[in-house]
Structures are given as C-alpha cells and as structure tokens.
Amino acid sequence: MAERPESLHRRLEQGPPPRVCLIAGEEPLLQREAADAVRRAARQAGHREREVRDVDGHFDWGQLGEAAANLSLFGDRRLLELRMPGGKPGQEGAEALKAYCRSAPEDTVLLVTCNRLDRAARDSAWVRALAETGVFVYCWPVPAAEMPRWVAERLRQAGLEADREAAALIAERAEGNLLAADQAVEKLRLLVGRGQVDADAAAAALADSARYSVDDLADAALAGDLTRALRVLATLEAEGVQPPLILWALSRDIRVAARLAAGAGDEVLQRERIWRRRAGRLREAARRRPVATWRQLLQRCHRVDRAVKGLPPGSPGEELRALVSRLARAMAK
C-alpha cells in the first residue's frame, strides 16, 4: 500500500499533487525532501495559502473538519499540513481523518507527516483511508549494502560522476546517516564543482577540517561533560552545521537510550544502525537513568523540532542549548 519516495517524485513531475498525502518513515532526509516536493508542487498548482497544525495530546480534531468546510480567506487554493510526529491520532483523530477523506475538498491539499509507523499503524483504517484518497509514502531506511548506490545517485544529481570506490568511501564515512552523506555530497559539489570524482579526490575533499562532529556532541553530553558539550555545540554552529542534523544525532541517541531503559534488547541498536563503538556508551547511559528521564528528554527534542520549523516558543539555537544542557546534567547526576 505504501509507496516509496521515488514514486512520489515521479508522480509530482507529471502533474499536481493528490488531494491527500501521507508521508511517514524512519529517514528524516527522505521525509523532508518528500514533504518539500509536495509543498513545491502545491505552490505550482496554485495552492498559495498554507495552514500548519501540530497534533499533540491536546489537539482539537474538530479543527480538521472546520478547515475542510471553511472557504479560503482569499479565495486561493490551500495547503493544509498536519504534523503528527507520533503517528497516533487516537480514535477521535482516526475518525476525523476518515471523515475528511470521505469529503476531501477540491481546493485543498492535505499533507500529513509522521515519523515511524509500526506495522499495525501502517495497516490501520485511517492510513488506508488517506492512501485510498491520495497517496501514502513511507521512507524506509536505506540498507547498508545499498548506501554506495544511493550516494552515487546523489552525486549524479549534483553533477558529479563518482567511481565505485568514491561512492563507497562516502557511504562508509556517513555510517548509515543519510543526512551526513548528503552533507558530504554537497561539500564535494562546492569544492570540486562538476565532473569526475575518484576515491582520492573524495578523500581529499572530505578530509575533516572541522574540530568536532555531531557524534562528538552527543558523546560529550552522554558523558555528562556540560562544558565540553556546549563548546562542541558552539563550534558546530559556528562552522555552519544545520540544526536538523544536530538534532538528528541527539534525538537518535536519546530515543535509543529510552528504548534500552524501557527494556528493549540489542535489536534496537541494530534497527537504528548504531555502530559497535557507540553501542556500549548508549547501553551504559540507559542503565544510569530511568526511562522517565529519557522520555522528558524526548519531549525537549520535540521542542527543538518545533523551533527548527519556526514555531514558538524558542529559537533553534536556544532550544538546542537547553536540550544539550539537560542531557549533560542528567548524565552527570
């Protein structure tokens, strides 16, 4: 039932977006690009008015029906976004989504975005209703064996032709992180321009001139070293590392530690593709703090995500510093 992102991109190249689009998955880069493609296609199709609603535990699902019934303020077509990170609308939300699909307005594109959906959620009635009315896209992780091919395709899109060794090198450096791989491709594009890239050129261009990586930040915070963690964060920000990538690294480790603290086994490390050298640190962190602490930290991650998307109350930098401080202080206890 679910399509892959490539299928959505091909569909949008051929015409306007469907009236309903559900985008979910486990790869932030692919999710962001798919949602951006829908927004771009909606603008090109004349959907100039945009409404964004964040679904949390206090969300009034009556707003969805009202949005469907109300005419656009300026008579324009609309893009209505429902951001539902947890992917659990509850019974009331599920009924509201199904009701919307039964009478989806012609002048509105509904874009629903979620993070990971388990098998039961992907097979639920509300997901089926959205898929049957429009399109359901799920962004699966890219298997390690396919990473070099994925990198090679991204290089080609950037105007670079890489040999097999160069693509494999970039894939290895990224360690399964698509955001990091994409950042490496962009760095190569800026440094090399267009044309051929071999392994030597890739290694030279990707030589780490930065003092720190996002994993260094996560490691410092997990070690309870607040001073170093804030210094690493400041350096990353000064070097232009974008908040979504920093948040991705922190939220990944916090999410994994929360699951380990709740009793999950090593399969969570395998599913999140945590490399062996970091697995021990996360196991130790999970043992040191109760699951309630990790859940509170996940709530702080949600605040950072809101700030990154331009929503109140804080700025991305302020919220990232607050998250790093809380994590480091929790681990120092």
| CATH number for region 5-139 | 3.40.50.300
pLDDT of residue 73: 52
pLDDT under 50: residue ranges of the chain: 209-210
Q: Which two tokens stand for residue 204?
A: 């030279």
| 283 contact partners, CB below 8 Å, separation of at least 6 | 260
In the DSSP assignment, the letter for residue 274 is -
**pLDDT tens digits along 188-200:** 887 777 788 888 7
Distance (Å, rounded) from C-alpha 8 to C-alpha 329? 43
Helix (H, G, I), strand (E, B) or coil at 146: helix
**pTM for this entry:** 0.63
| β 135-139/160-162 pair status | unpaired
Task: Find tokens 């656009």 and name the residue.
Answer: 72
CATH architecture of the domain 144-205 equals Orthogonal Bundle (1.10)
Considering the domain delimited by 214-332, tell me its CATH architecture: Up-down Bundle (1.20)
**Boundaries of every domain in the chain:** 5-139, 144-205, 214-332
- pLDDT computed for residue 209 by the predictor: 43
pLDDT at 7: 92
Tens-place pLDDT, residues 65-80: 877 676 555 557 889 9
